[in-house]
């Protein structure tokens, strides 16, 4: 399913009679990849292997989230041609040149009315696992006082992160090429940090040299258990 996102955004409240508080997992993949030099989303993790975006979508599809969305913008036609969506749905962000915040706003404004939480993922973290995303989801459900949670390395917030509906208006107000880290820091009393010991888990690929870098020593999924 393709939803063409309009530049008009609005916040929708949760229906009073909604029974289950559902979760959406959103893969943010609309960027220009200016540092990479081409469509980073389609870059292969290994010759003949998965692309970065396919890997991210596969991870999102394996989580316990109720909905999965992929926000596309730059080179969206080529990406849609190659991407196997599974249960994911596509959101087209026409304003992708305005930066990462435009993709976050596009996602929030198109979430189903019964969605109480949103997980924001990026497409260039090859060592993330579904189990770690599910740990984020579980952490927020276990602690009613918390309104958001993120992975962290040495206590610094990293992607991905999960936000409750009460934070959606703040996400919709974001501007420029910024993620939600600023909200996690300024509202730290409302946030949970799940520290991981291995820095490779939160490692993101911004350049071709990073993609070619050997990632030895990390056992995929080890910290997700």
Whole-prediction pTM: 0.85
Mean pLDDT of 196-220: 61
Q: Is 135 helix (H, G, I), strand (E, B) or coil?
A: helix
Would you say 22 and 116 are in contact if contact means Cβ atoms under 8 Å apart? yes
Residue 215 — very low, low, confident or very high, per pLDDT cuts 50/70/90?
A: very low
- In tens, the pLDDT along 96-111 reads 999 999 999 999 999 9
pLDDT at 209: 60
- In tens, the pLDDT along 167-188 reads 999 999 999 888 898 999 999 9
Name the packing angle between helices 52-61 and 130-142 (round to 10°).
Answer: 40
Element containing residue 149 per DSSP (H, E)? strand 148-153
CATH class name, domain 21-211: alpha beta
Closest CA to 3 of 88, 113, 118: 88
- Eight-state DSSP code of residue 173: T
Q: How many CA atoms lie within 13 A of 30 on its CB side?
A: 29
Would you say 119 and 24 are in contact if contact means Cβ atoms under 8 Å apart? yes
Tokens standing for 122? 């990026």
């Amino acid at each position: 399913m393709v939803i063409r996102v309009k530049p008009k955004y609005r916040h929708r409240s949760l229906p009073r009679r909604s029974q289950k508080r559902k979760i959406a997992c959103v893969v943010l993949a609309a960027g220009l990849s200016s540092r990479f030099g081409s469509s980073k989303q389609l870059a292969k993790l290994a010759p003949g292997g998965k692309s970065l975006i396919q890997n991210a979508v596969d991870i999102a599809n394996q989580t316990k989230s109720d909905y999965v969305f992929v926000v596309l913008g730059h080179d969206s036609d080529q990406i849609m041609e190659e991407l196997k969506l599974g249960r994911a749905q596509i959101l087209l962000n026409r304003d992708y040149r305005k930066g990462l915040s435009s993709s976050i706003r596009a996602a929030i404004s198109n979430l189903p009315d019964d969605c109480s939480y949103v997980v924001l993922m990026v497409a260039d973290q090859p060592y993330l696992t579904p189990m770690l995303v599910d740990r984020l989801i579980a952490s927020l459900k276990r602690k009613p006082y918390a309104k958001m949670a993120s992975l962290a390395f040495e206590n610094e917030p990293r992607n991905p992160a999960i936000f409750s509906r009460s934070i959606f208006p703040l996400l919709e107000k974001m501007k420029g090429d910024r993620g939600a880290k600023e909200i996690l820091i300024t509202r730290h009393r409302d946030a949970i940090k799940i520290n991981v010991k291995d820095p490779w888990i939160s490692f993101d690929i911004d350049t071709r040299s990073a993609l070619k870098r050997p990632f030895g020593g990390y056992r995929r999924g080890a910290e997700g258990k």
